[in-house]
Structures are given as C-alpha cells and as structure tokens.
Structure 1
C-alpha cells in the first residue's frame, strides 16, 4: 500500500484496506533517512509503491510504475524498453538518482550520467520508494531532484520453500512471465527468479508525420535474480545478491521509422553485504558492489540512416561502503535519537564509441570519489520529527561538494494533520563524457567542470477529514516546492567544450484528495503544477505545467478493479527538438499538445494461492506525444494468471 505526499505516496496507488480510519501505512521506509523510520514521521515527500500496487495496477516496468507518482514527469519514447526519462519537480532527468537495494544504477558511460527508466522489469521488485527533493546529504552525487530506490523481493518469513510466478499474453503478440522460488530457515534465506517480456510492440512514430511507414518497435527482455543470506546469530546478517538483465529493442530515428535500428542493453549487478548490531544500539555494516552496463546500437545504412552506426557504451561502477546507525535513546524532551554515519568510495569507468569520423564521439576515462555523510534525527515532545544531515564529496581531479538538508515533520492531532518543512542543497558531479569526452577533432571535454548544484525547499500539509461517521472519509494534502539550479553544464558558444554556464528555477505544487465513501470504494485525484524555466526565462523542455491523475479502487471480496486516467497538459520542447507534419524540424520553442490515457486493470482471486487478471491499456486509443516525434503506444489488452504456493 502507499500513502501520499508528505507522508508518502500517491494515494493514486492506494491501499488494500478500507477501514473507518485512515488506511494503515508500511511500518518503515529507509530511503528518505537511511534510518528505518515510520512512514508518518518521515520529514520528506516520499512515495511507496508496494508489490500489491504493482500487481493490482499491472505494472511490468519501472516507467509504468512511476508515471502517476506526484511531482514526477515520466517521458517515454514508446513502449517497453524505449528511452524513458524522469523529471522530478522540474529537475533534469540526469539529476535523479536510481538505486537497487541502495546501490546506484546510473550508467557512467551515458554522456550525461542519466538513467533509462524504460529498461527495468519489476518481477523481482518488492517495493519502490521515491523520495522527492534533494537527497545528496544521504546519497551524494545525482540526488538533486530525488531518489528512486527499487527494493528486491525477500524470501517470506518462516517459509522453508515457496514457488511463485506469473504468466500472461496480450495484443501485439505480447507474452510475459516470471517464475521464482524462495525460502527462509532459522539461519538461511534464499531467492531465485527469472522473468521476461516479448512483444511486437507499437509504431511510436506519430500518425501525423508523413515519414510514418507503420513499422512497429519490438522488445524482448529477460532478467534473472539470485539472493542468498545467512544469519550467524540473531544480531548479524551476511547476504549476497546477483542480478542480470538484457533487453533487445527496436528503435526509430526520429522523425523517421527505422526498421533495422537495434539496441542491445545489458546490465550486471552484484553486491555482498555484512552487518551486525553491537550492544543493541550500534548497527554497523560493510558492502561491496559492482554495476556493469553494456549497450550496443547497430543501425545499418538505409533511407532513415544514411551512414551505418555501430555504437558501443560500456560503463562500470565499483563501490565500497561502511554504514552505521547509532541509536542513542531519549534525552530530555527528545526521543528516539539516532545518528547515521558512513563513507562510500566509488570508482567509475567509461569506454564508449559512437558515430563515425569526423563526428565520432569517444570516451575512455575513469574517476574516483569518496563521500562522507553524517545525519541525526530525533522526535521532540512526541510530535515533531527532526532530521539534519550533511555529506562531503572528495573527488578525483575536481573540487568536491558539501551538501546539507534540514527537515521537520510536525504532527497536529488536534486537527488530524501533519505538516512537513524541509530545505537543502544537492549536486550532480560532471560525467566522464563531460570531463573527458572527445568529438572528432573539434570538441574536448572539460576536466575542470564543477558539479551542478541546487538549493530547494518545500512546505506541505496533509489532513484527514472525518464525515458521515467515518474518521477516514477523506485525506487532502498539498506541498509547495521551489528549487534553484546553478552551474548547469552545457556547450560553450564555440561548441568546442562544456562549461558551467546555465541556471534554472522550478517551483510548483503537488495537490491531492482521496475519498473513501464506502468500504469497497476509494477515489483519488492528484494535480501537479510545475513552472520550470532556464536562466533566460524560457520553459525547460518536457516539464508541462499541469499533470493530473485520477483513479479508483473498487474491491469486492475477491474482485478488485482499478481504473486510472493520466492527463498531461501542453509540454514544451527545446529548440530544434520539434517536427512539423512533413518531418521538418521547427526552429525555436514549441509545445506538444495535451493528452490523456485511460488504463484499467481487474484482478480476481480464485483461491488464496491463485489469481487471474486482465488489463486494458490506453483504452481511448490516444496517440498524443509526451515527447515530440514519439506517440504513446496504442490500445492494448493483456490477461494472465498469478500464483504462489
């Protein structure tokens, strides 16, 4: 389940229970503080997407799961596997940090250090925690707009062995499924799982373009996960995780369909972690991790691509982390005092080659960084949760950065409300391409670049509204935010290097209302307003002013129906990024038209172990363009079975 805004999530992805009081929340979240904290005490805007949300709403990829999160503008150039970017509260997509069980996934070989949200499958994901706002004081570089942490599935407690899985099929020759096993004994826990999706896909070139030839963009993706954990005693745990994922995707060369443009995207991930609790107050742990990204784009010459392409990107990140939580108990009016501190040392490498001379782009470089962090949180007078944190990065070859954050979550039970207020700084270190990349003989990266940085604040309130004898009849909330981004990296006037020359601002509000008129019905409406502009006052691309989500959850004993409408207002595009109907580019800023998508998922629990489900995607047949030159996938239907024994 999940709650919204201040306390956490979009109620758009609501809870399974409909009691006569506000719905329960997960016991704790970790991403927002690094210290497990009750969700209603977190001094940050957090969204929690649970396994139940993923299944009831039919989410199969990370991009699908994030599309209705408040403050997140998810832009995908098509369906499964296509490039997807997330703009959180107006920040650039490269300024969003993505984690898997707390380990960064952003690809060091990606020119801007951004993450492709269209790649990740969700069969092995137990929950997703999305923190909106600056989090560099906890996680270092990249956490400017926010953090997305995918937490993998765990073995069920007190169950030596369980088999679970899912299988289904649908339109566009889509077939998907997953199968896994897991178990727990007194000392051991384990999990093995495989998953995959294959689809003919849709033609994502908009029907309005004369260059549209009707070519579909197919997808084939697989992933495998293995986890093994051992408890030598009740206070200690040693565990390892391995994950492999490979996608094969058909791409277009906008504004043209391109039938022979293919991308292979592979990621390998591993971590080994050990932790113990000493004296019941100090939890300390060590972790070593590795993330390897390998992408290859093959595009032989044809009418859409006059020169053949064979582009290769290889990026690796090795990390070593020492993390600690020290629980100090109570002192005077302060309760639950806890301190977290640690150090992370990382090595990033990139080896890439794209295009042909005289415009061939290459990067062959590496860089090290060490980040120290410390934070403290406490509860004042049993109603005010306080948090403070600071981190210091020491980087190879350029000045590091010091980030801080202060936050408070104030409970006001007299009016059934909670208030948050927070402020902080964050930064995004220059990527390896930005520092060392080469384009032909005319461009060289700038090793003296400084990190991009930001200052942000937010204030919000959430209130439970009783009515008709129901204390949880409604929940209303609003958060106002503002960010200023400085030292943004862009090409200089001569286009022969990069400099810290740009600035930007973003401000807006996240508003929502949830109604629970009956035990079997929950209604949600959410509205995110964002005004994002560059230093010259021009709108930042792909940040629409208005994004609205409306949905419902109807639960009848064994039957659950979840309809959802996603509306996106007119969305700006940057100069030379828009195309007229004849395929020619537009000089200057332009706006994509608004559009809406209607989805519907229904699930029937046949037995306690077996459920069947059916999904309809884009039932209205909308072909609006979230990014100019890329239409949303057309109508689709999908059905299947889910089991756990």
Structure 2
C-alpha cells in the first residue's frame, strides 16, 4: 500500500493514519478480493507500517489480539501459536500460494520462528475454520503471506542491528521492474549466542543455546499480453542449539538441530474481460537433522533425520458477473511424502460465491476433498456483513478439518492407518462501532467445537481419535487517534478453551490477554512506540506429564526510531523493559530484558 517510502514519510503516515482507513486495504486471504471494509470474514492485515516496526514474524503476530504465542526458550526454540485458542497445527501457513506446513512433522505444523520478515509485503490472518478455502489444517485459521514485487523504480532496504546475547541480525532486499519484467530479491542472516533454553534459574550452570539462520528469497514475473508468468523461490538454512527439555536437570551442553527448507512456485495468471484464471505449480521441501552428541546425559551419540515434501497443482478462476455477484472456482491436487516413502494424495474442488445486496454482503460456498487415506470430506462456509447507520454487523459459520499426518498414520509402533480427520465447527458474531470521531470499537464472540481430536492413547501411545475440545472467546479491540501524531490500540481477549474428554483446560491458553500499544510521533522524523502485554493465568504440563499452574505476567516493550539523514534511520528496541522474570512455557527461560540497536537504509 505504501510503495516506496522514506522513513520520514512512514512516520508522517503513522502520525496521520486514522482508524477508519479500511476502505483502501485490499484483502486476498478470503480468495475473492475485496476491501477490508467490505469483508464479512474476520481478517487482520499487517501492512508495511506494522511490518517495519517488527524484527521477526513472531514479533509481528504477537500484536494480534486473539493470538497467543509461547516460545520454548531463546530464538530457535519451538513456537506454539494459539489462534483463538486452537492448536499450532490448526493454523495453515501460506506464502505466495505455497503451503509451508511440514509433512514430516508429527502434526504437520510449520514453525513460524524460522520465517523472517525481510522482503515481506503484507501478512493476512484469516480467522476461524477455513476448510472450504484452504482444506486441511485450517481449523483455527490461515496466515497468508505475500512477498514484494518489482516496481518501476529501483526500491528496497537494508538493515543491521546488534543486541543482547550477541545477537546480530542483518538483511537486504531490492525490487525493480524492467519494462514488463519484475524482479525481487532478499537475503538476511541471524546469529545469536542465545541463552539457556532450560530455565537457568533451575539450572545454575546452564550453557547458552544459540541459533544461526540464513534466508534467501527471489521472485521474477513477466507480463505476457493479458497475463503474467511468475516464479518464486525461498531457501532457509538454520542451526539451533537445544536442551533436553525445560526445568531442572534438563540442560544439555551439545545437542543441536539442523533445518533446511526450500519453497518453490511457478505460476501463470490470465486476465479476462470479466475475470481471471491462475495456474500454480508448487513444491516445498523440509529436511531436519537432530544431532545428539555423547556426553554425561547421552553416553551414546545419535543422529535422527526427517524429510518431507509437498507437490501441488492448483487452478483457480474468479468470475465477475457484475458489481453484485462474484464467483470463485478452485481445483487443487497435493501429493506429500516423507523420507520413508510414506505418501498421501488429496484432490479437492470448491465453489465460493460473493453477493452484495445494498447494505449487505454475503460470502458462501462448499468444498469437496477426496483423500487417499480417509476418503471424501465436505466443508462449507457462510459469512454475512450488514451495514447499519450506527454500526456494522458480521456473522459467520464455517467448518474445517485436519487430516492425520504421515507420521500419525505410518510411524512404527505408534502409527494408526485407521485414523479419521479431526472436524471443527466455528460460529462467530461481531460488531464494528464508531465510538468517537477518531475511535472505533470492534467486538467478536466466537465459538469453536473440535471433535475426533488426534492424540496418543494412554499406556500404548498409539495415535487415536479420542478427544473433543470446546473453545469460547470474546475479543474486544479499541483503536483511537487521540491527537495529531498520537495513536493507540487496546485489546482484551477472554478465552475458555477446554478438553471436554479429559475435563480440563487446554494447556498454555491464558484465560485473559490484554495488549495495548501507543505510537507517538514527536516530529515527522521520529517515532516512539510503547507496548504492554498482560498474559493471564494458564495451565501447562511438566516433564512428567503433570498439570502445573502458570502465573500471570505483564511486560512492556519500547521502540524508538529516528531518521538522522535522508532515507537512513537508527532505531532502539527493548523487550521486557522492566526486566520481569516469567515463563511462557513451563521450565523454559525467557531472557530477561533484551535490547538492540539498529540502522536501516531505504532506497
């Protein structure tokens, strides 16, 4: 949306940006393009103003009101992402049309901690069960990421920052359009000594667990008559030091994990007089090696490798019949395979419609999946938005599913070829209400029911469909422009997430989460951002499988940026400003106060 932008103009934009600017934000995650203002689905869009304030995808996503993140120790530690209280593996991640979820992972989830923000144009979070639009793994929602494309003039940026734990983060990206050819490139590298994953207050002699990660990405597009051909490539190389687990006695001096990921797409889009057709060929490769070296904890060294790949073909057509009726058709084929040649195939077709009747917008459709392992499955969705004079009303009902992973089906001893998919239903109702001339309240009540949950059986540990979860939540968000150059955002999310089979709370979901941020621009060349994050009480599980109660905590973060010469700025960031001692995951450290200083150049 912002295009090529200097730091001064970015800060001026933030200072003048109103909370009612949804009419010019285009959303694509809902398959049929529309403005955010007229989307009946619950979608959060992060554009360049938010992305430029964040150092990582995790930092960016943590600002969303009904999304909770828990990290097991320092950078590189496992990330748990709970969108509206659902599991991490209930969130599908898509970048430039490529499914990033790992088929070799026991639950087929993708670790967003290994995804950098360099060369990212926008991030959309589509909430609720989205089986209709995205198939398996979208019970909680979908994170849709779009990388930058070339523009007429050469544009891009470079950055370098250094901070606590010897953390060095640097990157560069550039975009350019040559006649009808657009090119884009990005590269970044992270190197940190880190801190002990196992909480060092429980392990006084714990060693540091660091991470080294390099990311390369590139894109090329070529306009051809009324169409466009495009290629995308993304490569991630990551090495992270590990501990055995969290808590006392879990420190390990030399365990490590190596991860290599490749994501590729070749696509073509043809524009017609009243529609467009897109063909995408995609491939993703995941390779992980866990190295356990000989020491006092492990007398015998070992190395475990897992590999997975997904190959896909998707044909999507959008037909614009008139200003009031749009239809979207999609055919999709996916083949996934692991290192043991276990594989699965899935064919799907969906039909999705958008109707606009005066003050009302309705999106509705259905999908059929035909899966090699479990047969046919139908999902559907209907979403309504109505504009009243005093407020806007949104309602939606949708279904979703999660197919068993290759590991859950075929793993030695624990696999079960008779598993069936988890199934979900989501219902939600929300309102958008102008509170003042420059303020808006958004409230959403949501309900998700998940049955046939996949989990290990007691004693045998064989995978089974044996659980049910019920999640109820209320999200409240208030945005306001308090004065010229001063904006605020506050959210309060109440959540009840329960395992109905075990009759207990789902782990790591706080009963209440409060997030607030204030952006203040003293001038058009500087910006001060202060954030507060209160995480309420929640349950977790210790190393013996016992339920433990985690206390609430409150942390504050600070960011200051100033442009000191044309297109060049310096920034300071402090996480956990008051140096609070807390744990996100039982037994794992959080690092205390973490500060960094950086330099950014935009061209």
Query: Displacement of 1:379 after TM fit?
Result: 1.0
Query: Displacement of 1:481 after TM fit?
Result: 0.5
Query: Displacement of 1:306 after TM fit?
Result: 5.0
Cα distance between partner residues in 2 of 1:130 and 1:447: 33
Cα distance between partner residues in 2 of 1:26 and 1:172: 41
Q: Which residues in structure 2 correspond to 1:212-251 (within 5 Å)?
A: 212-233=204-225, 235-251=226-242
Deviates more, 1:426-435 or 1:397-406: 397-406
Q: 1:578 aligns with which of 521, 542, 548?
A: 542
Q: Which residues in structure 2 correspond to 1:46-85 (within 5 Å)?
A: 46-56=43-53, 59-85=54-80
In structure 2, relative to structure 1, the CA distance for the partners of 1:477 and 1:117 (3 Å cut) is: same
Q: 2:408 aligns with which of 415, 434, 452?
A: 434
Cα distance between partner residues in 2 of 1:594 and 1:124: 36
Query: Displacement of 1:314 after TM fit?
Result: 0.5
Deviation by residue 1:43-91 (Cα, 9 ceiling, x = unmatched): 12111112221222xx222222111212111111123221101111121
CA RMSD of aligned residues (A): 2.0
- Residue of structure 2 in register with 1:624 after alignment: 582
Q: 1:268 aligns with which of 254, 259, 262?
A: 262
What's the TM-score once normalised by structure 2's chain length?
Answer: 0.94
Unaligned runs of 5+ in 2: 3-10
Q: Which residues in structure 2 correspond to 1:108-507 (within 5 Å)?
A: 108-155=103-150, 157-159=151-153, 161-209=154-202, 211-233=203-225, 235-254=226-245, 255=247, 256-278=250-272, 280-330=273-323, 335=324, 337-351=325-339, 364-381=341-358, 383-412=359-388, 414-415=389-390, 417-438=391-412, 443-466=413-436, 471-472=437-438, 474-495=439-460, 497-507=462-472
Where 1:329 maps in the other structure, the secondary structure is: coil
Query: Do residues 569 (structure 1) and 560 (structure 2) align?
Result: no
In structure 2, relative to structure 1, the CA distance for the partners of 1:402 and 1:21 (3 Å cut) is: closer
Where 1:457 maps in the other structure, the secondary structure is: strand
Query: Displacement of 1:513 after TM fit?
Result: 1.6
Query: Displacement of 1:248 after TM fit?
Result: 1.0
Unaligned runs of 5+ in 1: 3-12, 352-362, 580-584
8 Å CA contact 2:15, 2:486 repeated in 1: no
In structure 2, relative to structure 1, the CA distance for the partners of 1:285 and 1:592 (3 Å cut) is: same
Deviation by residue 1:579-607 (Cα, 9 ceiling, x = unmatched): 6xxxxx4x632211111222111111234
- Residue of structure 2 in register with 1:508 after alignment: 473
Cα distance between partner residues in 2 of 1:102 and 1:526: 30
Query: Displacement of 1:404 after TM fit?
Result: 0.5
8 Å CA contact 2:22, 2:35 repeated in 1: no
Cα distance between partner residues in 1 of 2:206 and 2:291: 21
8 Å CA contact 1:83, 1:117 repeated in 2: no
Aligned pair count reads 590
- Residue of structure 2 in register with 1:8 after alignment: none
Query: Do residues 527 (structure 1) and 497 (structure 2) align?
Result: no
Where 1:172 maps in the other structure, the secondary structure is: helix
What's the TM-score once normalised by structure 1's chain length?
Answer: 0.88
8 Å CA contact 1:178, 1:194 repeated in 2: yes
Query: Displacement of 1:21 after TM fit?
Result: 7.2
8 Å CA contact 1:257, 1:304 repeated in 2: no
8 Å CA contact 1:399, 1:450 repeated in 2: no
Q: Which residues in structure 2 correspond to 1:16-55 (within 5 Å)?
A: 16-18=14-16, 22-24=20-22, 26-31=24-29, 33-55=30-52
Query: Displacement of 1:453 after TM fit?
Result: 0.6
Query: Displacement of 1:397 after TM fit?
Result: 2.8
- Residue of structure 2 in register with 1:642 after alignment: 600
Query: Displacement of 1:546 after TM fit?
Result: 1.0
In structure 2, relative to structure 1, the CA distance for the partners of 1:306 and 1:392 (3 Å cut) is: farther
Deviation by residue 1:281-304 (Cα, 9 ceiling, x = unmatched): 120111101100111111213234
In structure 2, relative to structure 1, the CA distance for the partners of 1:373 and 1:608 (3 Å cut) is: farther
Cα distance between partner residues in 2 of 1:542 and 1:246: 29
8 Å CA contact 2:15, 2:487 repeated in 1: no
Cα distance between partner residues in 2 of 1:26 and 1:627: 39
Cα distance between partner residues in 2 of 1:105 and 1:236: 26
Query: Displacement of 1:24 after TM fit?
Result: 4.9
